[in-house]
Amino acid sequence: MSSTELIQQLLQAEKQAEEVVSAAKKSRLAKLRQAKEKAEEEIKEFRDKEEAKFQKEMGFKATTDPADALKESTKAEIAGVMKDFATHKARTIEYIVGRVMDVQVTLTSTQIQGPLDASFLRADAELRTLAEAVDRFLRDDPADKPAADAGGSQEAHGSTSAGKSTQQVQLPGLEANDFRHPLDRRQTRVLESIPAISGVVRQVVAQLEQSIYQDNISSSILVGEKQYPSVHVMLQRACDILDIPKEQRPEVYSRQNPQPNAYTLAVQGKRPFIVVHTSLLDLCCPAEVEAVIAHELGHIKCEHGTWLSAANVLLVGASALPLPARVLGPVLERLQEDLGAWQRAAELSCDRASLLVAQDPWVALSVLVKLSGGSSMNSPSSKQVLPKEQLQAFLEQAKHYDESKSQQGPLQ
């Protein structure tokens, strides 16, 4: 065989190989498109089913678009809370009154022969503590009363009574579902119903969790009995109120950052941890800092875990993910939408956890005002909850916002 014939055979073989590879690529692309279309159809089908189930549970009227019903219900709920902030206080009172009634029923419905045992003595003590807490909520706000001594300048300037050394009611036996928001439950079901998505999310998040954890412990201060001891006490007290077992209590880190914020990350296989920015510690008084910590503990109590990590990691964008995870771009973009809705719903549950620990709605509102741009207008040594007049003005501002939103068209 001549060299010319050999070269021709090689060229022909190369051409045939290219045709085979090209056909394989086309077949592969076609299968990927079919898989993608099938996955999108399944996701849409599950979302539609969950929307229909949620409408049935919540008693929604039928609409042409299930998403419109959810938007309207969420908007109505937010508007109702912001129009009358007393609703927050009423819900908290209702919960505590419910706890009191539970103990009362236990004490009155049980036939006791002989002396009371230790369990009934503890129940009686719990009843008394809870009853005192209800009295504190129903009592007129101490800020409206004259200061009892020369040290009462805080009340004289219209500040709320938050931050005073009053005994906080404990909530033994508290379960996450006792305060979990209905939208939190609904959005969690939506995420968990997407086929095989939980495993994909865990694999993607696991690639970044460890590096985030190492970054925090290498450039932050671990809160403890010797470092930020006052914050350590707040953490333990909030965990006691929310009935979080010692083995599940998170580490807390203080991180240098000019943006007032705090966040929680649950690293797989490790104890979850909370990061609090130093600017938040500088801005807020002790009662407000404890309310922020309680909000983050709400994520842990509600076992938001994997989805919370996914929201914190994936919502930064697929471009920030490791290369192997970027091929999931289209899926992640769709998942971001569901994660965003879940995260907003989860925050409502955590706000309730914050109220259960603060046990004063003015404290929680003061935190919101400060994080939105407010300030105590005082030196760091005299930080305090914002005056009630300023907080009420913020509620009026929220009412104006609701009114302006209600006047906008659907496309605005």
Q: Which pLDDT does position 361 carry in this prediction?
A: 92
Q: Which pLDDT does position 31 carry in this prediction?
A: 82
Residues 183 and 74 sit within 8 Å (Cβ to Cβ) = yes
| Residue environment code for 261-278, b if the CB has 16+ CB neighbours within 10 A, otherwise e | ebebbbbeeeebbbbbbe
CA-angle at 165, arms to 161 and 170, nearest 5°: 105
Residues 299 and 278 sit within 8 Å (Cβ to Cβ) = no
Q: Which pLDDT does position 119 carry in this prediction?
A: 47
Residues forming a β-bridge with 255: 277
pLDDT under 70: residue ranges of the chain: 1-3, 6-7, 54-55, 57-166, 195-198, 200-209, 267-269, 312-334, 374-382, 408-412
Q: Kindly name the residue from 50, 155, 288, 296 that is annotated as catalytic.
A: 296
State which H helix or E strand residue 262 sits in.
Answer: strand 262-265
Which residues are CB-neighbours of 220 under 8 A, at least 6 positions away? 253, 254, 255, 256, 275
Size of the chain, expressed as the number of residues it contains: 412
d(CA 272, CA 238): 16
The three-state secondary structure class of 6 is helix
* DSSP assignment of 90-140: HHHHHHHHHHHHHHHHHHHHS---SS--HHHHHHHHHHHHHHHHHHHHHSP
At residue 37, what is the residue type? E
The three-state secondary structure class of 225 is coil
Which residues are CB-neighbours of 294 under 8 A, at least 6 positions away? 238, 241, 242, 353, 354, 356, 357, 358
Q: Which pLDDT does position 309 carry in this prediction?
A: 72
| Count of C-beta atoms within a 10 Å radius of residue 26 | 10
Q: Which pLDDT does position 130 carry in this prediction?
A: 56
* DSSP assignment of 28-91: HHHHHHHHHHHHHHHHHHHHHHHHHHHHHHHTPPP-S-HHHHHHHHHHHHHHHHHH-THHHHHH
Is 14 in the active site? Answer: no
Q: Which pLDDT does position 101 carry in this prediction?
A: 46
